[in-house]
A and B are shown apart, each in its own frame.
Chain A
Amino acid sequence: MEQFIQQLVNGISLGSIYALIALGYTMVYGIVKLINFAHGDVFMVGAFIGFYSITFLHLGFFPALLISMAACALFGVLIERIAYKPLRNATRIAALITAIGVSLFIEYGTIYIRGAQPEAYPNNVVPLKSIELFGVKISGQSILILAVSIFLMIVLQFVVHKTKIGKAMRAVSHDQDAAKLMGINVNNTISATFAIGSALAGAAGVIFGMYYTKIEPLMGIIPGLKAFVAAVLGGIGIIPGAMVGGLLLGVIEALVSALGGSLWRDAVAFIVLILILIFRPAGLFGKNVREKV
């Protein structure tokens, strides 16, 4: 039982990282209908920026988190403006191929610049004590991850529902042409979406580094794909769906590990994906829509 709760806590920590990344996927997909394959790599870049901020600039956890988020926001906007914007009216396949290209470029560009060797995150940045809950030791880092994730998600909900840019985002994702006619600057709104999504991925990168301590240039691929699975699981384009999907996926993975299938852990996400695509392609929170004939 203790073991089970321990795994559940691990699953929730991992799941909240997935959720943070999944939010970016889901927001971007909601607004430009593009699977931004490079999103997982923004997460990786965020982890590295956090790492360098802590080790070279000797910053604390929170300043490093903020720097990483800001830099990733900028990076996300750059990717969108350079690679995706010219393709907004191109075919879906062309956009998807470009996204794959951008993803590979960031991964191997990073390796080219700094090499493929991993870095170890300093684990003493946040002196948090573990606490005991129902006889289960929960590490300070788990609590921190959860707290930061929940805080960011609340902020995101606020931004999306209460601010002008959030309203514009929802309008553009609902009907781009109509939004344009209503005087919304579609280009800026799309950029803002990329900025917010990328900032969240950056935050996830720093948190991931704290929690798992090892970071490397290809670290974004698998969490990125799994976060996409989480977004699909919750219903792509739906913000609460991404949060729930992320947490659910993290917990499922942790439980599979606990049941002795740790080597199969990476396959679980994809099996979940294929099952959800077959049985409920719109996701847990989504509505089915058919192409208009």
Chain B
Amino acid sequence: MTNTPLLKVDHAGIRFGGLKAVSDVNMELKEGELVGLIGPNGAGKTTFFNLLTGVYVPTEGSIQLDGKKLNGFAPYKITKMGISRTFQNIRLFSDLSVLDNVKIAYHSLAKHSILSSILRLPPHFSGEKEMEEKAIEFLKIFKLEGVMDEQAKNLPYGQQRRLEIARALAANPRLLLLDEPAAGMNPQETEELMNLIALIREKFKLTILLIEHDMNLVMGVCERIYVLDHGQLIADGTPEQIRNNPKVIEAYLGEEVS
């Protein structure tokens, strides 16, 4: 493991008009870490994800992945550089099959050109075959291979969440951002999800940053936790430190801590 952090966020922030949605965030993630990002509703957690993935361009500070500056790159380029994500409100390709959902994420790794597909040249067939095999491999890990021909919108909610993670993984990230992956799940599903996250992290040598409302999940799996409130980091540390941090308790006061 090298000393340069995989993700280095340096005084990053964004303002919309006069409103500072996120400001002065510093964060360093080392390769292989599983880190949580928590905070009350409206603290700017999803906005921060949008900064990392290029949906918004930071108006201040910088974001680096493995030493390379990400500011100003389009989302699809940042995905290719190695950050992929899931969405808080599920954004599957709902009319397409489960298999196609995963294949699409594998698209940026495809080598065959438009021309070879149109003319059905050999690279098309080998490329498509590789995609299909890879996609099925991912679906197997997530126990979704049995429903791979279903339309994504017909899956039960828990499977949709799993499919979204499978899809994000198929984009071959080094850093995986999960935006409330357990939202709306029952305790048993959450438990399974936690095991799954641990498994994929191990298997794919991933670094994971996780937004979650479910404190048990965060405290249970994350090695370190950052706390965001009113767009600013108010604390970071081990789950134990966070649990006892008076600032954090204050930020959550009146908020339901489930």
What's the tally of chain B residues with a CB closer than 8 Å to chain A?
4
Q: Say whether A259 faces chain B, with CB atoms less than 8 Å apart.
A: no
**From residue 56 to 99 of chain B, which have CB atoms closer than 8 A to chain A?**
87
Which chain A residue shows the least CB distance to B17? A287
- Chain A residues, Cβ within 8 Å of B50: 293
Q: Say whether B55 faces chain A, with CB atoms less than 8 Å apart.
A: yes
Q: Say whether B151 faces chain A, with CB atoms less than 8 Å apart.
A: no
What's the tally of chain A residues with a CB closer than 8 Å to chain B?
1
Which chain A residue shows the least CB distance to B87? A293
- Chain B residues, Cβ within 8 Å of A293: 46, 50, 55, 87
- 1/0 contact trace for A250-293 toward B, CB 8 Å? 00000000000000000000000000000000000000000001
- Chain A residues, Cβ within 8 Å of B55: 293
Alpha-carbon gap, A293 to B48, bound state (A): 11
Which chain A residue shows the least CB distance to B179? A293
- Chain A residues, Cβ within 8 Å of B87: 293
**From residue 120 to 157 of chain A, which have CB atoms closer than 8 A to chain B?**
none
Which chain B residue shows the least CB distance to A287? B17
Which chain B residue shows the least CB distance to A291? B55
Minimum CB–CB distance from A77 to chain B (whole Å) comes to 35
Minimum CB–CB distance from A293 to chain B (whole Å) comes to 5
Alpha-carbon gap, A293 to B86, bound state (A): 11
Minimum CB–CB distance from A94 to chain B (whole Å) comes to 14
Minimum CB–CB distance from B80 to chain A (whole Å) comes to 19
Alpha-carbon gap, A293 to B55, bound state (A): 8
Alpha-carbon gap, A28 to B129, bound state (A): 50
Alpha-carbon gap, A293 to B50, bound state (A): 8
Minimum CB–CB distance from B215 to chain A (whole Å) comes to 25
Which chain A residue shows the least CB distance to B75? A293
Which chain A residue shows the least CB distance to B53? A293
Alpha-carbon gap, A293 to B75, bound state (A): 12
Minimum CB–CB distance from A282 to chain B (whole Å) comes to 13
Minimum CB–CB distance from A102 to chain B (whole Å) comes to 27
Minimum CB–CB distance from B232 to chain A (whole Å) comes to 21
Minimum CB–CB distance from B17 to chain A (whole Å) comes to 9
Which chain A residue shows the least CB distance to B16? A290
Alpha-carbon gap, A293 to B46, bound state (A): 8
**From residue 171 to 226 of chain B, which have CB atoms closer than 8 A to chain A?**
none
Minimum CB–CB distance from B71 to chain A (whole Å) comes to 18
Minimum CB–CB distance from B153 to chain A (whole Å) comes to 14
Alpha-carbon gap, A293 to B87, bound state (A): 8
- 1/0 contact trace for A235-252 toward B, CB 8 Å? 000000000000000000
- 1/0 contact trace for B31-64 toward A, CB 8 Å? 0000000000000001000100001000000000
Alpha-carbon gap, A293 to B45, bound state (A): 12
Alpha-carbon gap, A93 to B66, bound state (A): 43
- 1/0 contact trace for A18-56 toward B, CB 8 Å? 000000000000000000000000000000000000000
Minimum CB–CB distance from B18 to chain A (whole Å) comes to 13
Minimum CB–CB distance from B135 to chain A (whole Å) comes to 25
Which A residues fall within an 8 A CB radius of B? 293
- Between A and B, 4 residue pairs with Cβ closer than 8 Å are A293-B46, A293-B50, A293-B55, A293-B87
Which B residues fall within an 8 A CB radius of A? 46, 50, 55, 87
Closest 4 CB pairs of A and B: A293-B55, A293-B50, A293-B87, A293-B46
